[in-house]
Every structure is written in C-alpha cells, then in structure tokens.
Structure 1
Amino acid sequence: MGNKKVSQDKLIEYCNYTDSIKQELATQTDRGLAVLSITFLDVLLENILDSFFISDLNFQKTLFGPDKPLGSFNSKLLLSHALGLISDCEKHELNNLRKIRNIFSHDFSIDSFEKDSIKDRCMDLKIPEILYSPSFANILESQGILVNKVDGDYKSPSDLGARERFVESVNNMAVILMLRFGQSCKNQCVKSDEFKSLEDLYANLLKHSEWQQKKHQILVDKTKQQKLKLENYRKEYEEKTGKKCKDLEKIFQNENDTVFIKKPSIGHDELIERLKKVFQILSSKAK
C-alpha cells in the first residue's frame, strides 16, 4: 500500500503551492497563463501515476522525462485514464486544456484567449458548469479556502469570458487531481509474487482455473434465471393480450441455448481435471 505520511505531506505541499500558483498565473499574459497552467497540471498527473505504480526508484529515469514513454502531458493523460485514475470527463477536460496550450505554443500569431480558435475551445470546457455552486463557494471562502472569484463575484459559467473560463477549469482540475493523487496513493500497485518452481506455477494456474469455473457457473445460473423471468413475462403478456410474443420467442428457440453467454472452447471441468493430474504428477516427482 502507499505511504500515507508521504501522500499527506504531498497534498499539503500542493495546497500551499496551488494558492501561490493561482496568484502568479493571474499576472501572466494569455500565452504564459496557458503554458504554465498545463505545466502545473502535468506535475500533478505525473505524481498521480508515480504514486500508483509499484515502488521503484528507477521509474523517474525510465518512464518520466524528455524522450521517455511518459514524457509528454498527453501520454500521462492517456495512461491515467486507461488505468482508471481519472474519469472520462476529466480526460476530456484535460485534453481540451492541452489543445489550448498547444495552440498558444505552436502558433505565435495567436496571443489572446479572444481569438476564435482559442475561444471556441474554452467554451467547450465542461468542468466550470459541472462544479458551479456559488452557495458552496461562499462556505469555502468563509473557512479561509481560496475560491476563484471574477470581479468580486461568483459568475455563472455562461457569463465567463474565455480566459476566465480557462482559469476556472484549471483551478477546479487542480483540486480534482489532488484528490486523485490521494486515491492513487491509497490504491498503489504491489509487485507480483515470483513463481518459485514449476509446481508453484501450475498450482496457481489450477487455482485460477477453479475460480474461472465458479465464475462461469454463476453466469450460467444467472442466465437461466433471466431466461425464466423472460419466459414468465412472455406468458403474462400473451395471457393479457392474446397475442404471440414473437420477439421473446426467439430467445427460447433452443432450450439448451444459453443465449447470453459464450461457452469456452475447452470446458472448465476438463481443463481443471487435466491441471490436477499435471499437478499431482509434478508433486509426486518432487517427493
């Protein structure tokens, strides 16, 4: 499991850093704001992944950094989503923020959030709408928690300009990623056990196959229950209407057909018996 003390210290560090970075970003040009904002979110994503991976000091050298597999913001974003560390909406939001940053970085004729190519993407940012709650923001502010304000008030997302909307999205994503960091620390991966011998390998294979057999049987039982339920629905429908229910009838054309499941090409029972024999032979030879 992850080191709780390290994760707590890191979260406190992020909270303190976030307040100062917000103030610094407010003084930046539009281009500087876009570039520095994504740099900050990139650091958060990297720490989410690093805290989720198994403990290995070499990851910083082999995975992160320039020309490494996870050297770009996009690669960190895609892997974080693939591992379930961020949600679909968060992936979409971060990807839009990334594209806005890229436009500023690669097109020097674009220097303002009011340019159409930038403004359109800012209007597509969803998090400001999803997390808009001025009443709750007032509660947070009363407790000394810094909440983004525009002109001294909590504007509706629809009233925000492109830059304001970008800032609101970045601020909220920073908080979300700090939460995701805490979750990734809690669910840190652990190293797989090494197989000590051939017997150990087949013993684990047998254990897995027996688990698969139980899982398959549960699925078969659920399928039978579902078919029975559908059959009762069909009978009830026909009794009430006097009409033949043709759509459901297709399900029962073959009494032995488990429509909702695909049977394995090799039966689980047969596979387990074979593995048991192999394991018995190996065990007897070991003695």
Structure 2
Amino acid sequence: MSKKTQEKLRHHRTIEEFQTFANEFKSESDRAAVILGTAQLDLLLFQLLDSTLLPVTNGKDELLEGDSPLATFSARINACYRLGLIEAEFARALHLVRRIRNSFAHEVSSATLDAGAHRDRVRELVAPFAGNWGLREMLEQFFDNDESTGARFRACIALMSIRLDSVIQDSKRFSDEHAATMLPPDPDETDTAE
C-alpha cells in the first residue's frame, strides 16, 4: 500500500481494520457484497445520527431503533441529508445503493452486478468518483486493479464507508442550549436580570 493511501486512511480507521474489511468484502458474491455493503452503510448512518442527536435518557431509542421513524436505511439517508450531515450527492449515491440492495433482495435467481439495471445503477454510482484519487487507489491497492462492475461497486461502498466513518469521528452532538422551553420566561425575572 502506498504511503499516500496510508496517510489518507490513517485518520479514518487503522489500516489493518480497513484491509480486513476490504479483503472480506472483495471475496463475497455480488449478492452478499450488496447486502453486507448496504448493511455497513446503514450502520454508519445510524452511528452518525446517534452521535449527533441529543442522547437518549431512557435507554430505548424510540427514534432510531425498532419500528421507529428513523429505523430504515431510506429514512436515515434522508435524515442525515436534511440535518446537513451529508450533501445531496452523497444522499443520492446512498439511495442508489439502497435501490440496488432492494433489487437484489427480490431476485430469486443468482443476481450479478454485471447485468442490466444493476450495471446501469453501478455506473451511475461510480460516476461521481471518476477521476478521484480514492477510487483509483482503492481499485489498485485493495481490488488488484480489477475494473469490473463488481469491483467498482465494492470500491465505492468502501469509499463511502470511509467517508461516513470520518464524519462520525468529526461529528459534534447537537445541544439543547437554545431549545424552546415549554413556558415563556417570567417577565419579572428577565427585568431583574438586566
């Protein structure tokens, strides 16, 4: 692995952790790579929301877990975008991954990323990464210069995972410092404070 790649990945997670993830991920079937890659991104979005929203005080997160409003991959993508945690292009790419996952989940025969609509969606997913150092390095270092649709999909999932991991590391929790109180301030108390 080049020094440049090591330096750029060092901030996000240890090189060894990432190499383990990439090695396991690249040996999976297309179906497993799609399902596992999407699960990884979904978990990272959960962690991003969990690290920025006010903490849960009762032990059960009624917003992010179970049948809650932000328990789906789609809802988490939309929430992260609307909260300004990810940009529109990132949300669009995540929704493409979600659509690929949904298609794979409903196909009974062996699904491959090299066929029809899957291939077209992967091309659309990869397009913003074209010319980016990360995609080139990822394909070269972790996917043995494999230029197949499957390798490009896996590289994009890995790059989005790295980026989300970085955003989580740099995230700041919202504060309730300026939250609206239930009752308006007592005018007598505000007059004495001045």
Tell me if TM exceeds 0.5. Answer: yes
> Which residue pairs with 1:66 in the alignment?
66
1:103 partner letter? S
SS in structure 2 at match of 1:61 = coil
Aligned counterparts of 2:107 and 2:37: Cα–Cα separation in 1: 18
1:78–1:12 Cα change, 3 Å: same
1:163–1:190 Cα change, 3 Å: same
Are 2:24 and 1:32 equivalent residues in the alignment?
A: no
SS in structure 1 at match of 2:130 = helix
> Which residue pairs with 1:4 in the alignment?
none
2:52 partner letter? F
Candidates 155, 165, 170, aligned match of 1:183:
170
Are 2:51 and 1:51 equivalent residues in the alignment?
A: yes
> Which residue pairs with 1:165 in the alignment?
152
8 Å Cα contact 1:48/1:180 also seen in 2: yes
1:59–1:162 Cα change, 3 Å: farther
What does the per-residue CA deviation read over 1:176-218, in whole Å, with 9 as the maximum and x for residues that have no partner? 101211232xx311124574964x26xxxxxxxxxxxxxxxxx
Give the gaps of 5 or more residues in structure 1. Answer: 1-10, 138-146, 202-278
> Which residue pairs with 2:120 in the alignment?
120
1:76–1:151 Cα change, 3 Å: closer
2:69 partner letter? P
1:283–1:118 Cα change, 3 Å: same
Q: What displacement does 1:36 show?
A: 0.2
Q: What displacement does 1:131 show?
A: 2.2
1:167 partner letter? R
Candidates 152, 157, 160, aligned match of 2:144:
152
Aligned counterparts of 1:121 and 1:176: Cα–Cα separation in 2: 21
1:25 partner letter? F
> Which residue pairs with 1:107 in the alignment?
107
% same residue: 21
1:70–1:197 Cα change, 3 Å: closer
SS in structure 1 at match of 2:85 = coil
Q: Where do 1:9-24 residues align within 5 Å?
A: 12=13, 17-24=17-24
Larger Rg: 1
Q: What displacement does 1:117 show?
A: 1.3
8 Å Cα contact 1:114/1:162 also seen in 2: yes
Q: What displacement does 1:45 show?
A: 0.6
8 Å Cα contact 1:37/1:170 also seen in 2: yes
Greater relative CO (CA pairs within 8 A, separation 6+): 2
What does the per-residue CA deviation read over 1:122-161, in whole Å, with 9 as the maximum and x for residues that have no partner? 01013431524688x4xxxxxxxxx4427634x7xxxx32
